[in-house]
């Protein structure tokens, strides 16, 4: 039992969890120690322990009523606090617990069975994560990817797209945009067309008015001539009549 390595369930993630479990086992051990020196018949309330400690006890097949098992747990937790490898993983947002447990399970299967993980937040990385150990750092963030592709992005921004590279969908979109622009131009010209069509009638009215004024002026000039001709003719007729009477 003493040589058995402590098994950690995936729910035990960080050094904070280990410290919390250590305090719970110490409080249980203190309760049983005091119960041994109490007189019989004294009422006692057994302290409750968390679901996390229960998972550790089940995974290691231990019994907390036995002092040796409690001592084994305390020794294993103290060893974890001093010797367990700790990794720092930072995300842009707070990840769900099930997601973190999958990462911890993979690390304990492939790296170390007692590895602990601290979860942090780095909102400026965009997406992905940043992993740090005691002597190494690995940046798997979207920010790092964009930094590595900086030159490629700049070259693509300055690249001229050839006409052959335009897809049929893009060509259809261009034609639709041009058709909309043409319709807008036609709509803008439609209110001005009645004003243009009204200009010739105005010119015709002016010419007709000028012709009417000229005709009136001519009629006024011809009327006195007729009157004078008639007056000059009447005495001639009278003279002829007089001559006949004589």
Residues whose CB falls within 8 Å of the CB of residue 79, separated by 6 or more in sequence, listed in order: 6
Say if residue 32 is exposed, middle or buried (CB neighbours under 10 Å; 0-12, 13-18, 19+): middle
Answer with the residue of higher pLDDT: 10 or 39.
Answer: 10
239: pLDDT confidence band, cut at 50, 70 and 90?
Answer: very low
Q: What would the pLDDT profile of 189-212 be if each residue is shown by its tens digit?
A: 665 544 444 444 454 555 666 676
Whether pLDDT at 243 is above 80: no
For 16, 102, 103, 133, the CA distances from 10, given in Å and listed in that order, are 14, 8, 9, 19
Residues whose CB falls within 8 Å of the CB of residue 11, separated by 6 or more in sequence, listed in order: 17, 52, 55, 101
pLDDT number for residue 207: 61
Whether pLDDT at 241 is above 50: no
Q: What would the pLDDT profile of 34-55 be if each residue is shown by its tens digit?
A: 887 776 666 667 778 889 999 9
pLDDT number for residue 87: 94
Which residue from 75, 55, 57, 56 is spatially nearest to 65, judged by alpha carbons?
57
Residues whose CB falls within 8 Å of the CB of residue 80, separated by 6 or more in sequence, listed in order: 6, 8, 15, 18, 114, 116
State the Cα–Cα distance between residues 180 and 2, nearest whole angstrom.
83
Predicted TM-score (pTM) of the model is 0.57
Q: What is the mean pLDDT of the chain?
A: 76
């Amino acid at each position: 039992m003493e040589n058995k390595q402590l098994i950690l369930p995936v729910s035990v993630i960080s050094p904070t969890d280990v410290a919390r479990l250590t305090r719970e086992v110490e409080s249980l051990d203190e309760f049983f120690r005091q119960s041994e020196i109490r007189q019989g018949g004294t009422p006692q309330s057994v302290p409750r322990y968390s679901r996390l400690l229960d998972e550790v006890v089940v995974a290691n097949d231990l019994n907390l009523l036995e002092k040796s098992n409690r001592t084994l747990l305390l020794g294993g937790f103290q060893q974890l606090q001093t010797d367990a490898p700790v990794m720092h993983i930072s995300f842009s947002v707070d990840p769900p617990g099930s997601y973190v447990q999958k990462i911890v399970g993979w690390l304990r299967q492939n790296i170390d069975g007692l590895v602990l993980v601290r979860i942090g937040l780095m909102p400026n990385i965009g997406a992905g994560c940043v992993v740090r150990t005691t002597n190494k750092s690995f940046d798997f963030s979207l920010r790092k990817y964009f930094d590595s592709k900086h030159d490629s992005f700049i070259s693509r921004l300055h690249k001229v797209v050839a006409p052959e590279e335009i897809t049929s969908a893009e060509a259809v979109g261009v034609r639709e945009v041009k058709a909309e622009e043409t319709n807008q131009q036609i709509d803008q010209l439609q209110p001005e067309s009645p004003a243009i069509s009204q200009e010739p009638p105005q010119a015709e009215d002016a010419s007709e008015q000028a012709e009417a004024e000229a005709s009136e002026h001519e009629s006024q000039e011809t009327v006195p001539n007729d009157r004078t001709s008639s007056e000059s003719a009447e005495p001639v007729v009278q003279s002829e009549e007089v001559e006949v009477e004589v």
